[in-house]
Amino acid sequence: MVMPFDLNKTTHLFTKTDQGGVQKIQVKDPKDTEQVELIRTHLQKEKELFDDGDFSDPATLHGEAMPGLSVLEQSADKLEVEYTDLPDGAQLTYLTDDEKVIDALHMWFMAQLQDHGTDAMEP
């Protein structure tokens, strides 16, 4: 299982920025500490994988042909991923000064927004 938390109890937020973007996963009920911990564990693991150019988890969920994915896999050395705990979940911040990687990230975010449906949004 790629995502260990309950999608029905969480919201994914994807914010595009000039330097990349921010991906937040937050619980709908801030008292649901079990889901908060599952989100944090998941995003910490994803950060480590992404740092190594391993985007196999998103590929498993969304398909190998996911927009932007191949550029991100090939550009790990041009992409900085920062992990942050949030009171109601966690976030990953993606930073780069490479326009090609920024475009790929934005395409990747849009693909996730479409695939996650009502559990995802742009703030």
CA dist 52 and 72 (Å) reads: 11
pLDDT tens-place values along the chain, 123 residues long: 556 777 789 988 999 999 999 999 999 999 999 999 999 999 999 999 999 988 887 756 555 677 889 999 999 999 999 999 999 999 999 999 999 999 999 999 988 877 666 666 577
CA distances from 120 to 19, 85, 101 (A): 21, 19, 22
How far apart, in whole angstroms, are the C-alpha atoms of residue 36 and residue 55?
Answer: 22
Q: What is the CA radius of gyration of the chain?
A: 13
114 contacts: CB under 8 Å, gap ≥ 6: none
Single pTM value for the model: 0.88
**102 burial class (0-12, 13-18, 19+ CB within 10 angstroms)?**
buried
